[in-house]
Amino acid sequence: MKQKRSTNSREVILDAAEAVVQGRGALGLTLDAVAARAGVSKGGLLYHFPSKDALLEAMVARIARMARQHFTEELAKEPEGRGRHAHVFLRMLLGGKGSFFPLLQRMATPLFVAIAGNPELLAPMRAAYGELHQAMIQDGLPPERAWLILSALDGIKFWRILQFMEPSGLELKRLRILLERLIDGEEVV
């Protein structure tokens, strides 16, 4: 029972940290602010996360865990064949059934906080992307095509998250069709 309560406390604190970053920005992420938001003492927070870096690392790891879980669930629905990992990633980021983008957009700020403060905290994301790239190649995509698809999807993702550019619905649909053709091995002009 104690382990369950400890796990729940960690999740409550992580939820609070995410809310603090969303409400106050990266500079507002302090251990005091997170403890207050979570309704725990600072000592209670420090029991689970002995430093701000430990908290950020757990936030990034949770994002990676959630993305992997969602990806695994969607992959189980995808028929065997060429490009199945790439097709799932495409759906996760560009909408349609199985889109993960709304959740990713909400959770992106904590990820950027981690990048700015300590790039080493991104190890769980690096590992996930490395595994995805290898799985895309094992699915039959040439390595350079896998790189291109990952780069295009991440570029669009970051444009949208950072509000650099927001393709229209029609443009997203056309981009998705073009990327599906690339995944399926078609030549595109």
What pLDDT, on the 0 to 100 scale, is given for residue 170?
92
3-state secondary structure string, the chain? CHHHHHHHHHHHHHHHHHHHHHHHCHHHCCHHHHHHHHCCCHHHHHHHCCCHHHHHHHHHHHHHHHHHHHHHHHHHHCCCCCCHHHHHHHHHHHCCCCCCHHHHHHHHHHHHHHHHHCHHHHHHHHHHHHHHHHHHHHCCCCHHHHHHHHHHHHHHHHHHHCCCCCCCHHHHHHHHHHHHHHHCCCCCC
In the predicted model, is pLDDT for residue 98 greater than 60? no
Q: Indicate the pTM of the whole model.
A: 0.78
The domains of the chain are located at 1-50, 60-183
CATH classification of 1-50, choosing from 1.10.287, 1.10.10, 1.10.357, 2.30.30?
A: 1.10.10
pLDDT tens figures, 50-96: 999 899 889 888 888 888 898 899 999 999 989 999 999 998 888 75
What pLDDT, on the 0 to 100 scale, is given for residue 2?
47
